[in-house]
Copies of this chain bind each other. A is one copy, B any other.
Amino acid sequence: MNVPNASTFSLQFRCKKGVENSNSRVSAIDAWMVRTFLKSIGDPGLRVTLWDGKEVASGGAAPAAGLLIRDRGALRRLLVNPFLNFGDDYSAGRIEIEGGLVALLETVYQAMARTDGFKKDSDPAAFRRNQPKLNSLSGSRDNIHHHYDIGNDFYQLWLDEEMLYTCAYFPDKLATLEDAQIAKMDLVCRKLRLQAGQTVVDAGCGWGALARYMARRYGVTVRAYNISHEQIVYARQRAEIEGLAGQIEYIEDDYRNISGRYDAFAAVGMLEHVGPDHYQELGRVIDRSLTEHGLGLIHTIGQNRATPMSPWFLKRIFPGSYPPTLSEMMNVLEPLDFTVLDVENLRLHYAKTCEHWLWRFEKNVNRIQEMFDECFVRAWRLYLSGCVANFSIGALQLFQVVFSRPTNNRIPWTRSHLTGPAGEP
């Protein structure tokens, strides 16, 4: 397992500092700062307690959740730049939550959504604030390394058996995460209408589960690209053990270097890392990769209106990431005259997936703290809780988009291929 160093995992830096001045007396100015902060985020109805135990905001009759701010520095930083500093100070233990982090985040996000200051129109350059320049060939490698190469052992503690780190599909809400991830892979294969003997390119293959499922269940051969070294090593090893190495080639390279022609193009949980500046480039890659009657599928986190991600999320969790709107996504497809055949929004499935991940994460929290430190645990708890909250309240979407060339008349006539007996291996 690779333990990240300061240069690749900048979260470490903030966590060195402890709580400051926690014995300082709470003043009227402190209470005013709390009220000002709450007002700035739309008065979400939170109980707020300060470092001396004093409750300076009651949150109304039935507050959904409460904040304990453990020093004046953290309070000041909330006023200065809440979107970066809440995350850092929560991670560092200077802010504590009462009543559940997911509930708190949902309450805050909903309050913000009702507040004029945050009710913005789409921002056509929203994604540029996400440092899209970093998504050059070398920039993408750094960004991906930051998140995905922090250790396969870590991800194995809270992902499913097959190591899928993308939205699952729960045909039944009570399905296990394992079953729901298999159902998701099968849904993707059905949408692509895979037939034995076909060739598939998987752009951004993670730990390689989808490629293995396609090869095993649908009898196709897959070339799977990924720039995360740790993931590729894992994927190759597992394919060998499962006897699938002859059907799958895992390639440690960028999507821009994809070569060959394929009956199907799949990008599952990959577009989030491309950056809208590079969508037309991706479209050209698909154009040169897809056969005349090939089908493509992009599965990505999305949003309704173009809005940048929070600076904390970008700095500490997923640098260079951006969830596109559907109209932004069309910049991949429309310039090349691709035809959109089907779009499905699996938003609530992603809320449930993240709940499963968060639950497994918490079950293994002691082990994770040993691997990293408490600050890491708190940062990732915040990240996973934020995902649950954002998908639950409708701030994030999950779009599955199926497309073909415009002249392809062998497209599915109805959706009947998406249900019924599973495809033949």
Contacts and interface: CB of A to CB of B under 8 A. Distances in A.
Interface of A: 110, 113, 121-122, 170-171, 173, 304-305, 325-327, 330-331, 333-335, 337-345, 347-348, 392-395, 397, 399, 405-409, 411, 413-416, 418-419
A411 to B, nearest CB: 7
B335 A345 contact: no
B419 A406 contact: no
A342 B345 contact: yes
A343 B402 CA distance: 10
Contacts of A121: 335
Contacts of A110: 407
Contacts of A343: 340, 342-343
A70 to B, nearest CB: 33
Contact of A393 (B170, B347, B407, B414): B407
Given A339-B347, A348-B409, A393-B407, A171 B414 contact: yes
A419 B419 CA distance: 10
A419 B397 CA distance: 24
A406 B395 contact: yes
Contacts of A337: 304-305
Given A334-B122, A415-B415, A344 B345 contact: no
Number of this chain's copies in the complex: 2
A387 B341 CA distance: 19
A341 B334 contact: no
A36 to B, nearest CB: 27
A121 B393 CA distance: 37
Contact of A345 (B304, B334, B340, B399): B340
Contact of A413 (B348, B393, B414): B348
A339 B397 contact: yes
Contacts of A305: 334-335, 337
Contacts of A395: 406
B406 A344 contact: no
A61 B189 CA distance: 42
A327 B338 CA distance: 13
A284 B326 CA distance: 19
24 contacts: A110-B407, A171-B414, A304-B337, A304-B339, A304-B340, A305-B335, A305-B337, A325-B334, A326-B326, A327-B330, A327-B334, A339-B347, A339-B394, A339-B397, A340-B345, A342-B344, A342-B345, A347-B411, A348-B409, A348-B411, A394-B406, A415-B418, A416-B419, A419-B419
A336 to B, nearest CB: 9
- Give the one of A393, A394, A416 with max B CB within 10 A: A394
- Give the one of A170, A342, A343, A418 with max B CB within 10 A: A343
Given A110-B407, A347-B411, 9 more contacts: A122-B334, A326-B327, A327-B331, A339-B347, A340-B397, A344-B415, A348-B413, A394-B407, A394-B409
Contact of A334 (B171, B304, B340, B418): B304
Nearest to A169: B414
Contacts of A341: 344-345
Contacts of A325: 330, 334
Given A326-B340, A327-B327, A304 B406 contact: yes
A299 to B, nearest CB: 14
Contacts of A411: 347-348
Contacts of A413: 170, 173, 348
A407 B72 CA distance: 35
A329 B392 CA distance: 25
A317 B354 CA distance: 52
Contacts of A414: 171
A122 B334 CA distance: 8
Contacts of A333: 304
A305 B330 CA distance: 10
Contacts of A392: 409
A304 B348 contact: no
